[in-house]
Amino acid sequence: MRKKLVAGNWKMHGNLQENDALLSALVTGISVLGNNASYAVCVPYPYFPSVQSKLQGTNIEWGAQNVSQHEKGAFTGEVSASMLNDFNCTYAIVGHSERRMLYGESNQVVAEKYVAAQKAGLVPILCVGETLEQRDSDTTEQVIDEQLKAVLTLAGVNSLANAVIAYEPVWAIGTGKTATPQQAQDIHRFIRQGIAAQSAEIAAELTILYGGSVKANNAAELFAMPDIDGGLIGGASLVADDFIAICKAVRS
Ligand code: PEP
């Protein structure tokens, strides 16, 4: 059976004090949910030591929001996958639309980051998704195809056995505009069918998350769709009660 996952993306939010309160509430609220699904928070780099000490031994995993495509070297300001391993990260988000748009990450660079993460034993959460302009011009499937193709060409379809895909329509991220469950399902099915054309087994087991203004009050209907296996949660992951409610919704 496919793994269900709810992962929070804190983005550039938080401080030691706020994180401590948030994580304490999450540990209490999520510990009772058992292990039918996986739960994770992707946090800013400086907080790994405190997040690790707070979450180890709990049913909440942690990860990074980005990773360098390089193993080591003169790359000022970058963080390698093996450095993330030093803090027992499980996941690394790659290709978030904010990275693609604000930092110019191309499909090729995202694919290299995906490979670097996997090489170090991390599970990449590969974000794909279209802008509003692309949706309006009916090129959503083409855009997503190209984003996936870069990864499949570099890493091969079997690499998806150790990866998660997050479909995140750019127009729904941080905007309060959620894709309807059917809009999201249509693209999730498109992604799964595209992978199935290369490997039915890999496609059947692939966890595909939806991300884009998932909230406590819309998570259940999104997660009820047959090809949606959980969510990548931005804003709502910063509010303990909301994130816990979304985590509960993935089990039902
Ligand atoms: C995200 O940043 O990946 C995201 C989905 O953000 P939000 O939930 O705030 O739209």
Q: What is the CA 240 to chain-centroid distance, rounded?
A: 18
Q: From the CA of 201, how far away is ligand 1's center (Å)?
A: 29
Atom 8 (ligand 1) nearest CA: 234
**Total count of residues recorded for the chain:** 252
Does 195 contact ligand 1 (Cβ within 6 A)? no
Residues recognised as catalytic: 96, 168
Distance 11 CA to ligand 1 centre (A): 9
Give residue-wise pLDDT tens across range 126-169. Answer: 999 999 999 999 999 999 999 999 999 999 999 999 999 999 99
Backbone angles phi, psi at 208, to 5 degrees: -120, 115
Please give the pLDDT value at position 251.
Answer: 67
- Which CATH code for domain 5-249? 3.20.20.70
Residue 58 has a pLDDT of 97
- Residue 211 CA: nearest ligand 1 atom is 5
Q: Are 160 and 207 in contact (CB under 8 A)?
A: no
Q: Where are the domains of the chain?
A: 5-249
pTM: 0.97
Q: Whose CA is nearest to atom 2 of ligand 1?
A: 234
- Please say whether the beta carbons of 223 and 250 come within 8 A: yes
For 47-70, the pLDDT digits (tens) are 999 999 999 999 999 999 999 999
